[in-house]
Amino acid sequence: KKADVIIIFETKHRNEITRILDYNHWNKISLFNKLAFGENTEMEDPHMQSEFIYKKIASQIKLGCKKIIQQFTQTSNSEQYT
């Protein structure tokens, strides 16, 4: 039940999570776009959108996941040598 980070797509997700998460862990909640791209924006919801929008958002999520994994891998590797 430990987590280094809780990644959310929308601010409303933060509101739901903070209802059940201890206040001491609220700092672990981060927007996906902020973590992946340095943008303090929400991920667009593709629900009920066109196939083009769905594929565009899927590509953004895939790229963002790669960037986040890269960041965590670099952080993990640098911590091993300190």
**pTM of this structure:** 0.83
> pLDDT of the chain along its 82 residues, tens only?
677 899 999 999 999 999 999 999 999 999 999 999 999 999 999 999 999 999 999 999 999 999 999 998 887 776 655 4
Do residues 45 and 12 lie in contact, with contact meaning Cβ atoms separated by under 8 Å? no
d(CA 31, CA 9): 6
Do residues 35 and 59 lie in contact, with contact meaning Cβ atoms separated by under 8 Å? no
pLDDT of residue 1: 60
Q: Phi then psi for 48, rounded to 5 degrees?
A: 65, 20
